[in-house]
Amino acid sequence: MRVEKQPEVKKEEVFVPHQPMNKITVLAILTVMSSLLFWFLWSRMLVTGVSFSFVSRDVASVVVTFFSFCLMFVLAGVSSVLIIRKLIFLILAFMLGLSTMVFSRVSIWSVVAGIMVLLAFFNWYREISADLKSRIKFLPNRTLGTGLKTVVTVLILAASFSYYGFLVSGQDASEKFSNSLVTTSSRAVQNILEMYYQDKFSPKMTLDEFVANITDVLGDVNLDTGQKDLNEIINQGLNHAQQQLVIEARNDFLKTMGIEAAGSETMDLVVEKIVRKNMDKYLGSLQKYIPAILALGLFLLLNIFNFIYCELIKSFSYVIFHILAWLKFVKVKKVQVEAEKITL
């Protein structure tokens, strides 16, 4: 009896990615280094402050910090795509969380920031893994865009917690913050005075010089009567009268401002006294809430540009993946998969 040969059924090819530890190690090191770079630059900005002056190096510092923030996400996203072992990536996420505390004061707030970073990156890893399983064709910008907006928001929130911890932690944190606030406000007031009074004001000018400039009590006194002795007596009297007018104007100025200062004190010190007095008068006990308000304001300000961060991260990821493919660091392999179709 003749038996027909049954057609051979082609089994679905199971794709098991190769995971060489040397490449995983390189990815992990690059990701952690990018995270350390960002948190280092972030801590430097918190310590030195930012004036956003186009003639200073602050703009360059902001730009470099911004790109290091994006680079951290790009490398973390690449690692999420290429590392399939959850335990390995969990260790990497732990190191990323730990990097938040390397350059900052260790406090409850820095610990909270580190935990947020750990959970954010590990949750992003899970979403990327789920997206990879559901896709037939790998698209770097689409895959890394999965859940990216949320993880960027959490990282910005972690940076804000780090900023809040910087303001309130450490010895004499309240006094240091108050002094910093006074210094910053004094600089702002000095800039306004320079714009308004122009040549009549300078931070290194003495109080008497400033009062004389704004009241115009000092003029060129050089009366000539034709008699030398008489000229000297009259001019001395006029100079004495002008000095008395300056003293009276200075006293009125100090009384109006409600401070005490000598006529020889420079205007930067006088402005600082004025700012400190008014800050204590109008803020008082509310100063303890200012760090929280500043941290919240920083979060809202940075989160406004969330869309820009996400688009740049996806664009950089596209470029990085093509560079890695060109360097033969990653390989794109096509496999057959079983798919369900639905019809009537």
pLDDT band at 191 (very low <50, low <70, confident <90, very high): confident
Question: What pTM value is reported for the model?
Answer: 0.74
Q: Is the pLDDT of residue 16 over 60?
A: no
C-alpha torsion sign, points 61, 67, 73, 77: negative
* Chain mean pLDDT for the chain: 79
Residue 204 above 60 pLDDT?
Answer: yes
pLDDT level of residue 49 (50, 70, 90 thresholds): low
Task: Say yes or no to pLDDT of 324 above 50.
Answer: yes
Positive or negative: CA dihedral 133, 135, 141, 146: negative
Classified as helix, coil or strand, 321 is helix
Is residue 243 pLDDT above 80, yes or no?
A: no
Residues written for the chain: 344
Residue with tokens 């992003």: 124
pLDDT tens, residue by residue, 250-283: 778 778 878 888 878 888 888 888 888 877 777 6
pLDDT attached to residue 265: 84
Sequence ranges of the domains in the chain: 21-170+304-326, 173-290
The answer to whether residues 250 and 242 touch, using CB atoms and an 8 Å cutoff, is no
Predicted local confidence at residue 95, as pLDDT: 95
Three-state secondary structure call for residue 220: coil
Contact 14, 77 (CB under 8 A): no
As a whole number of angstroms, the distance between CA 28 and CA 75 comes to 9
DSSP reduced 3-state for 266: strand
Asked whether the predicted pLDDT for residue 61 surpasses 50, the reply is yes
* Residue 52 clears pLDDT 50, i.e. is over it: no
Rounded distance, CA 330 to CA 321, Å? 8
Q: How far apart are CA 194 and CA 200, in angstroms?
A: 8
Say what angle helices 86-98 and 108-134 make with each other, to 10 degrees.
150
